Amino acid sequence: MDLLDGRVSTVVLGIAQDAGMPHAGCCCSICQAAFSNLNLSLLSASIAIVDARQNPPRTWLIDATPDIKYQLNLLRDTLGPHPARPDRVQQPDGLFITHGHMGHLAGLVHLGPEGMAVQRMKVYASDGLIGALKETRIWSPLLDNLALIPLEPNVSLEMAPGLFITPVPVPHRDEIGAGTFAYQINGEANSLLYVPDIDSWALWPEARGILGMVDVALVDATFYSRDEISGRESVSHPLVPETLAFFREIPTRLVLTHLNHTNPLLDSGSKERRIIESQGVEVAARGQRYML
Ligand SMILES: [Zn+2]
Ligand SMILES: [Zn+2]
Ligand SMILES: [Zn+2]
């Protein structure tokens, strides 16, 4: 991934729902094809923010997915060599976590002493999530490698000159009471909102205002229809047609991510894919880049 052109951008590192694709224990045709040919697999949803105006460039990740080792490797040229260990990459400048579910947090294990062994790496998350990490003894060897920094909801942080990130609370299934953040990233030219998980647009009163303000919205498209979950009533995600309807009057570029292995949008020849594309909506792809 060549991001070293002196610009500030966001890049997609993965687009699958938490458990990735192939999905553990799944015999569906798309997962079986990916089990047979790992080139077809999809990494769990994550993005990076890269500021290549600076030398060396600065790099931040949003979410620590179970696939983080592959995602860090995608960024190896951007991260550059580790100052003391030339056969390793430099650690990212920071990691912003959206919430405490598997696909967004479990990759922290790769940063601990058995893995990348980062040193005082900055990890930003809600106060509640940091508290939960500290309370769970199994994480304690890892936490010595991290600098945990609580984020104030709706308060912007200046990551670099003219580059801001703002944690925006959104409604999402919350078993541990730690909340879920979307992240709004504002560069000097453009802005992007990253919302990999949300229960429903209707439950988020500020949605229209915030989504209408950004240039790109990269949002939760876990399921296209209830058929994917045997008609279950509550799915803790808006279905894609609900998202299309919600965004119809919002002039923002809409990009879909966090797709479950069952989602027909993963098939680029599907009728569902034609429907969204006819409305000018895209499915995110690994390596896709948005200038900030
Ligand atoms: Zn998720
Ligand atoms: Zn499957
Ligand atoms: Zn979640």
Give the number of the ligand closest to the Cα of residue 258. Answer: 1
The whole-angstrom separation of Cα 274 and Cα 271 is 5
Give pLDDT tens digits for 266-275. Answer: 999 999 999 9
Q: How confident is the model at residue 1 (pLDDT cuts 50, 70, 90)?
A: confident
Distance 83 CA to ligand 1 centre (A): 34
| Whether pTM exceeds 0.85 | yes
Q: Output the pLDDT for position 291.
A: 97
Distance 24 CA to ligand 2 centre (A): 8
Distance 90 CA to ligand 1 centre (A): 27
Structural domain boundaries in the chain: 8-291
Give pLDDT tens digits for 99-114. Answer: 999 999 999 999 999 9
Give the number of the ligand closest to the Cα of residue 171. Answer: 3
Surface-to-core class of residue 142, CB atoms within 10 Å of its CB (0-12 exposed, 13-18 middle, 19+ buried): buried
Q: Output the pLDDT for position 233.
A: 66
Q: How confident is the model at residue 231 (pLDDT cuts 50, 70, 90)?
A: low
Distance 229 CA to ligand 2 centre (A): 12
Distance 183 CA to ligand 3 centre (A): 14
Architecture of domain 8-291: 4-Layer Sandwich (3.60)
Distance 251 CA to ligand 2 centre (A): 34
